[in-house]
Amino acid sequence: MVIDRAPLLDRVFHALAHPARRSIIRRLAAGEQNLSELASPLKMSFPAASKHVRVLEGARLVRRRISGRQHMCRLEAEPLKEVTQWTEQFRGHWEARFQALDALLEEMQPQDAAVTNPSAPTPRRRSAPRIRRKTS
């Protein structure tokens, strides 16, 4: 079981990498549900849904308790918070880069306007030769 030995963060990312499991998490955010309730909107068999829940359990995102014939699932938010903080930091890093790019673009715009403005002509470079010879 390679997945089980992987660091928790990897297991959480793996768990979040599947749309069915994200759907389960979203619904569990509203409160505890049993496995059949979770499986039905996914158009999935009970065993298939159970498998996804097992992956979520492995990432400590979901806790399952068995009550009679019901498998009740509950969201455990703690590992998700860690991932959110961590990736938000990463998104923030790229967003900071793009904000630097915004500033650079703003700086470039007046220069660009001066170039394209006909009242401020700039010397043009000669373009390619007019006569083109066919090459064989």
Partner 1 sequence: MMTAGLQVSTPTDTTIRFTRVFRAPRHLVWNAMTKPDLVQRWMFCPPDWSWGKCEMDVRVGGKFRWEWNGPNGQTALSIWGEYREVQPHSRIVHTERMEMGPGAGGACGGATAADTGATPEPWELLAALELGEQNGSTVMTMTLTFASKAARDGALASGMEHGMEAGYAQLDAQLAQ
Kindly list the residues in this chain that would bind partner 1 in the complex (CB under 8 A): 6-7, 9-10, 13-14, 16-17, 22, 25-26, 29-30, 75, 77, 80-81, 83-84, 86-95, 97-98, 100-106, 108-109, 112
Q: Which is nearer to partner 1, 90 or 134 (CB)?
A: 90
Q: Which is nearer to partner 1, 66 or 114 (CB)?
A: 114
Are 53 and 99 in contact by the 8 Å Cβ rule? The answer is no
Are 67 and 105 in contact by the 8 Å Cβ rule? The answer is no
Q: Nearest approach, Cβ of 78 to partner 1 (angstroms)? A: 10
Q: Nearest approach, Cβ of 96 to partner 1 (angstroms)? A: 8
Q: Which is nearer to partner 1, 1 or 30 (CB)?
A: 30
Q: Nearest approach, Cβ of 69 to partner 1 (angstroms)? A: 29
In angstroms, rounded to a whole number, what is the distance separating the alpha carbons of residues 42 and 22? 11
Q: Nearest approach, Cβ of 83 to partner 1 (angstroms)? A: 8
- What are the helix (H) ranges across 44-77? 46-58
Q: Which is nearer to partner 1, 39 or 75 (CB)?
A: 75
In angstroms, rounded to a whole number, what is the distance separating the alpha carbons of residues 123 and 115? 10
Q: Which is nearer to partner 1, 66 or 108 (CB)?
A: 108
Are 62 and 12 in contact by the 8 Å Cβ rule? The answer is no
Residues 6 or more apart in contact with residue 78 via CB below 8 angstroms = 60
Q: Nearest approach, Cβ of 79 to partner 1 (angstroms)? A: 11
Are 28 and 62 in contact by the 8 Å Cβ rule? The answer is yes
